[in-house]
Structure 1
Amino acid sequence: MAYVVCEACIRCKYTDCVDVCPVDCFHEGPNFLVIDPDECIDCTLCVAECPVEAIYAEDDVPEDQRDFIALNAELAKVWKVITERKDPLPDAEEWAKVKNKRDQLIR
């Protein structure tokens, strides 16, 4: 069972999770992070590090966000691995409070 980055990460892209990942399973897009399910070792370290609570165990992904399971797998194949923490997006604090922001995802 892999972990999945869900909607709360969109337009925030905090990378605290990347710092604790022992296997470099995170991939970076323009305004979102994803987890490669083939690389994730289910260590759970990233979950507690996410300030917007965007990371879930695959079995715990909320029903209305189940499509993020396939989205993480798809985008991990095309986005580059991120291995070091970076600053969040400039307006991350504002976007962290926004719900329903799927339309903001840049592929």
Structure 2
Amino acid sequence: MAFVITEPCQTEKAGECTTVCPVDCIVEGPDQFYIEPDICIDCGACKAVCPVDAIEEEYDLTPDQEVFLEKAEAFFAEES
């Protein structure tokens, strides 16, 4: 998974990221948006437009943000 949507999305949930994603890999969940890792092409367009800086590269996550990677994995496991 290249990008992970983190905590600021939970309070904002603006959605600009969905409009710029060239492969439509960003899905709205009940509490925030999630990036589908199997579809994402790692272009970074979503990160550039996020108004609340909620999108981070997986390898740049802080220990406190790791929970959002786990949430995304669980979200897409449930959808399968």
Q: Give the TM-score band, short-chain normalised.
A: 0.7 to 0.9
2:43 matched to which residue of 1?
43
2:22 matched to which residue of 1?
22
Please, what TM-score do these two structures have when normalized by structure 2? 0.87
2:56 matched to which residue of 1?
56
> Over the residues paired in the alignment, what is the CA RMSD in angstroms?
1.5
Deviation, structure 1 residue 31: 3.0
Paired-residue identity, %: 44
**1:11 maps to amino acid:** T
Q: Which has the higher mean CA deviation after the structures are superposed, 63-72 or 43-52?
A: 63-72
Q: Could you tell me how far apart the structure 2 residues matched to 1:2 and 1:76 are?
A: 15
Higher helix share: 2
Is 1:5–1:34's contact at 8 Å kept on the other side of the alignment? yes
Q: Which has the higher mean CA deviation after the structures are superposed, 69-78 or 46-55?
A: 69-78
Q: Could you tell me how far apart the structure 1 residues matched to 2:41 and 2:77 are?
A: 17
Deviation, structure 1 residue 78: 4.2
Consecutive unaligned residues in structure 1, runs of 5 or more: 80-107
1:66 matched to which residue of 2?
66
Deviation, structure 1 residue 73: 2.0
CA distances 1:1-41 after superposition (whole Å, capped 9, x unpaired): 41000011003111101111011111112331011111111
Is 1:12–1:31's contact at 8 Å kept on the other side of the alignment? no
Consecutive unaligned residues in structure 2, runs of 5 or more: none
Query: Which structure has the larger Rg over C-alpha atoms?
Result: 1
Number of residue pairs matched?
Answer: 79
**2:63 maps to amino acid:** E
Q: Counterpart of 2:12 in 1: which secondary structure?
A: coil
